[in-house]
Every structure is written in C-alpha cells, then in structure tokens.
C-alpha cells in the first residue's frame, strides 16, 4: 500500500476484496459500520479471515453462512482502539453492498468504509470514538468532499437491509469528538 493512501500507524492486512474506483470518481462519503465475528465476540482473527477470504466455515456455526462472502472495509477499529487497514483509500473496498445515498447508487464507488468492532446491542468504547474521530479528521483533510453531512451509517445507505452501526452508536459524541480532535499522521 502507498504510504499516502494509508493510516501511518495502522496494521496493514491487505484484502483481495477491492477494486479500482471508476475513472473520475470522487471520494465523498464516509460509511460507519460495526462487525464482530462470531456476533458479539471480540478479538481473534475472524475479521481478518473474512476480509482475506480464509474464514473457515467449520470454525463456528455462524461462519458457514458467511464464509463465501467477498467483502472488505478500508479500516477496522478494534475495541482497544487498534486500527487495521485492509484496502487503500484510493481503491474501492467492498463494504456497502447494494446501497444509495442522495439518489446516487453504488456507494462503494465513492465512499470509504470504516468498521468498528462491535454490535448493534452494546456501546462502543471511548478509545474507538477517539480513533474514529482522528481518522475522520485526517480523511476530511485529504478528501474535502467528505463533509460532516456526508458521514453516515450503513443503515442510512441500505435501509431495511442493514442496521449498523446500530442504536448504541453515539452520533453526538462522535461528531463532537471529530470537531475537537487532531487529525492523525
């Protein structure tokens, strides 16, 4: 990964589940997700395995239904605040699926996807909000079309299909943290 296209302090774990963005595309949307594998369990290598196409369908009953998926995100912020980057920002990560924002379909073409390790059913950690705010500020400086109005949840671009980041994601805390944080790098 190009150093200008990565978070400097992130662990790099390249995913094959990415592609080139359309020519002339603009990066103008930030999508917040949540993920835990198996659901409600934290730590371990299952998210890396899912994004790397190596998830063992026999390792957990839940995995049998998802091991075939070819998905990724640009970043994961773990419960302890550690950041992993799977896809360079200039490339298209496969995080949004069938999606639309402001009448424009295929959000993967013009968005950056950040996964928070968590679920729809419990609060995220303070360090996750801190890291997310710092990364957001850096992304907004690098991609000025990502304004505060163009930061959404997966549920906003795929309503009825997705619910994340869920009701426990504190949008007010996050937006206040973005305003008060220093960008990374």
Q: First CA to last CA across the chain, in angstroms?
A: 16
115 given a catalytic annotation = yes
What six digits make up the tokens of 1?
């990964």
Burial 71-87 (b: 16+ CB within 10 A, else e): bbbbbbbbeebebbbbb
Alpha-carbon radius of gyration of the chain: 15
Active-site residue (options: 41, 115, 122, 149): 115
The angle formed by the CA atoms of residues 86, 167 and 74, to the nearest 5 degrees, is 10
CA distances from 21 to 18, 141, 155, 170, 179 (A): 9, 20, 22, 30, 29
Which residue in the block uniquely carries the two structure tokens 């998830």? 55
Locate the DSSP E strands across the chain. 11-12, 18-20, 29-35, 75-77, 83-85, 91-93, 100-101, 104-105, 111-117, 151-153
DSSP 163: -
Catalytic site positions: 115
């Amino acid at each position: 990964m190009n150093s200008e296209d990565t978070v400097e302090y992130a662990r790099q774990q390249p995913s094959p589940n990415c592609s080139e963005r359309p020519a002339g595309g603009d990066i103008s949307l930030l999508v917040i997700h949540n993920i835990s594998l198996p659901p409600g369990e934290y730590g371990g290598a299952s998210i890396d395995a899912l994004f790397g196409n190596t998830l063992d369908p026999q390792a957990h009953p839940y995995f049998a239904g998802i091991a075939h998926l070819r998905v990724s995100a640009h970043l994961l912020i773990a419960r302890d605040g550690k950041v992993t980057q799977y896809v360079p920002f200039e490339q298209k990560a496969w995080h949004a699926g069938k999606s639309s924002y402001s009448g424009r379909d295929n959000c993967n073409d013009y968005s950056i996807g950040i996964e928070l390790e968590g679920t729809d059913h419990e609060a995220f950690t303070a360090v996750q909000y801190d890291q997310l705010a710092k990364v957001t500020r850096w992304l907004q400086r690098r991609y000025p079309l990502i304004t505060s109005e163009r930061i959404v949840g997966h549920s906003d671009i795929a309503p009825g299909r997705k619910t994340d980041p869920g009701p426990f994601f504190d949008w007010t805390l996050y937006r206040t943290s973005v305003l008060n944080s220093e960008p990374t790098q």
